[in-house]
Structure 1
């Protein structure tokens, strides 16, 4: 008897987060018949010994390894949140034939040569360096006081090298991979407007040819503020 593996959903969290960030989504995705795997990228373990040595390439390779580990014949859906879009774009570029769909969670694919923070100094970038700006800017909209407390408690510093290093892309077939952008902190219309105005992080929106935008109004961390609705968007993408 021939069996078909359920779609493998690779969940890659953004800055300061580990696999735990997706805990509220996992049971819902499994209930939808999917096979979710949440990643903790190198240097984002609570006890990481040397974050200063972690590079963007280390993050890319971790995602590549997860793609390669998917069961034979299973659809692979890559889900990237926030700053994880940078290594996820590179991994997609290297494995266009292995990724069936990408879901960008309040983020977007980047362009060749992009670096998140090329001038950043030091070994690591802690959440505390941005906490006030994030809170005042509204990106934490929808989070309870308990969720905010857990975030502050469990967040670990982002390895600075992953923000400083520039991406190198070479396979233009990535531009035709089906994608869903989940617009949360900003609307889809605002995303496209900012891209057209020259926002470097969103420049990829002007290149990709099979990208759908879904509005899910909330803050920048919908895996906590709107887990049920986010899970449904991911499930729709995974079931193709």
Structure 2
């Protein structure tokens, strides 16, 4: 199976380095992506929008053999990117895997509330994030994250998601839920509560024909806090 790994904000292909060994050991071929504008802190991000990131994932799918089984994995904001890519190529995607993320509906934006500097969004101060985001992200891991963090193009966060093909709802889906807020027994119970309550946040997920939600209880960045377990969870999702 070909597995395309799409990082979330502030990260590039290197974020998956410690996650991929279980996937490779299971016989899969992994394709970690560095999305446009995310190569280095010196990249020009001024003209890059969400569609540029979606186009990069679609190009990665198109570069594979026509009969290749392709799984897309998206972390955080990368979840919106893989969902839009599946909308463009629904017949090519065997499964979408959302890591602490959900598919976002047409017209929604990933996050237009983050602090912006010029044409980009640098990794903010930790105080910007909720406590559940930071579970298991100790001081050493925070320092490591900040050392490799690359600013995200501002339009990737604020451009509306564009979707048009209802066949995207037929793509089998796994959500790897990593954080739960107060009042919930587990991350997956929080997602199921939102679905039952008709929350707009999970409306696109609820519309899918075939989805599962599994738990990996940690903070928002399991590629740093639980990379081996994340790799195993993705392997299980692909096998399932």
TM superposition score normalised by structure 2: 0.89
Counterpart for residue 125 of structure 1: 121
CA distance in 2, matches of 1:42, 1:96: 22
Superposed CA RMSD in Å reads 1.9
CA distance in 2, matches of 1:143, 1:188: 20
Superposition deviation, residue 180 in structure 1: 0.4
How many residues are treated as equivalent by the alignment? 232
Counterpart for residue 80 of structure 2: 86
| Contact 1:116–1:201, Cα closer than 8 Å, also in 2 | no
* Residue 104 in structure 1 maps to residue 98 in structure 2: yes
Counterpart for residue 184 of structure 2: none
CA distance in 1, matches of 2:112, 2:146: 25
| Contact 1:180–1:237, Cα closer than 8 Å, also in 2 | yes
Counterpart for residue 3 of structure 1: none
Superposition deviation, residue 133 in structure 1: 2.7
Aligned to 1:58, which of 22, 33, 52? Answer: 52
Of 221-230 and 117-126, more deviation after overlay is shown by 117-126
Structure 2: tracts of 5 or more residues without a match: 181-186
Counterpart for residue 235 of structure 2: 235
Of 25-34 and 152-161, more deviation after overlay is shown by 25-34
Counterpart for residue 225 of structure 1: 225
Superposition deviation, residue 192 in structure 1: 2.7
SS at 1:41 equivalent: coil
TM superposition score normalised by structure 1: 0.89
Structure 1: tracts of 5 or more residues without a match: 1-6
CA distance in 2, matches of 1:147, 1:119: 24
SS at 2:212 equivalent: strand
Superposition deviation, residue 156 in structure 1: 1.1
